[in-house]
Amino acid sequence: MAYQTLYQEYMLVPPVTRAYTTACVITTLAVQLDLVSPFQLYFNPNLILKKIQIWRLLTTFLFFGNLGFNFFFNMIFTYRYCRMLEEGSFRGRTADFVVMFIFGGTLMILSAFFVNLLFLGQAFTIMIVYVWSRRNIFVRMNFFGLMNFQAPYLPWVLLGFSVLLGNAISVDLVGMAIGHIYFFLEDVLPRQRGGQKFLKTPEFLKKLLDPAPDAPEYEHLPDMANEQPGL
């Protein structure tokens, strides 16, 4: 019974969030069990282009380090804000959410050619958090009970927390920059006079991924408008 309940809860998670977080956990467990090495996963342009190790374009987003505080911290934020985005502004628009993933991932890979970034998972998480925060500007946040602030400041709070942990700020800055580019192209520019929508989801993706009108709804996380979704 416990297994069935856990499985049912797992299947209630929206598909993109479920697929991405599951892939991250499986990748980390594979490294922890010595089934693969981090050296087989990190972003390396030479190995990608010369040795055709194209899987690195994907695995660089899936490994957050060995099991520990940093891994759990990133996974909590990834799961929570990815799910809230998918069940919030992307509700019923799975294809558009996938396009955001592809757009953000592509820009991060291009950035990694110029900035020395080996793993892009943390930057990807910051991008997700940034987009959510800009679409929920009136939500009040509480960070570990230490401070209260409006949602748009959340990426900057995480940046400061990364500095305290001794992490390189370049990872967070790349995620924030790409999150802002997506937000500008998707939410700001089309609303300007003479503006247009540059990010257009292919119709085949919509037919493939978007739920039918009569499809059962996912059980979404509680409405955050009246809550403080900080940790």
Task: Say what the pLDDT of residue 210 is.
Answer: 84
CATH code, domain with 59: 1.20.1540.10
pLDDT classification of 41: cutoffs 50, 70, 90: very high
Residue range 154-180: mean pLDDT, rounded: 89
Give me the percent of the chain exceeding a pLDDT of 70.
Answer: 90
Position 228 in a domain: no
User: pTM for this structure?
Assistant: 0.86
Position 220 in a domain: no
Phi and psi (nearest 5°) for 91?
-60, 125
Position 229 in a domain: no
Question: Which residues fall within 8 angstroms of residue 72, CB to CB, at 6 or more apart?
Answer: none
Task: Say what the pLDDT of residue 215 is.
Answer: 47
Position 225 in a domain: no
Task: Say what the pLDDT of residue 229 is.
Answer: 44
Tokens of 90: 């992307």
Position 227 in a domain: no
Position 218 in a domain: no
pLDDT of 1 strictly over 90: no
Tokens of 228: 């403080």
Residue range 109-116: mean pLDDT, rounded: 89
Task: Say what the pLDDT of residue 214 is.
Answer: 53
Position 179 in a domain: yes
pLDDT classification of 194: cutoffs 50, 70, 90: confident
Residue range 62-89: mean pLDDT, rounded: 90
Residue range 153-181: mean pLDDT, rounded: 89
Task: Say what the pLDDT of residue 192 is.
Answer: 83
Tokens of 48: 């990608």
pLDDT of 217 strictly over 60: no
Residue range 19-32: mean pLDDT, rounded: 94
Position 93 in a domain: yes
Tokens of 51: 């040795």
Tokens of 129: 């958090």
**Average pLDDT score over the chain:** 87
Query: Per residue, what are the HEC states of the chain?
Result: CHHHHHHHHHHHCCHHHHHHHHHHHHHHHHHHCCCCCHHHCCCCHHHHHHCCCCCHHHHCCCCCCCCCHHHHHHHHHHHHHHHHHHHCCCCCCHHHHHHHHHHHHHHHHHHHCCCCCCCCHHHHHHHHHHHHHHHCCCCEEEECCCEEEEHHHHHHHHHHHHHHCCCCHHHHHHHHHHHHHHHHHHHHHHHCCCCCCCCCCCHHHHHHHCCCCCCCCCCCCCCHHHCCCCC
Range of the domain at 45: 2-211
Residue range 165-171: mean pLDDT, rounded: 81
Residue, of 215 and 210, whose pLDDT is higher: 210
120-146 pLDDT per residue, tens: 999 999 999 999 999 999 999 887 777
pLDDT classification of 227: cutoffs 50, 70, 90: very low
pLDDT of 163 strictly over 90: no
Total of domains in the chain? 1
Residue range 67-89: mean pLDDT, rounded: 90
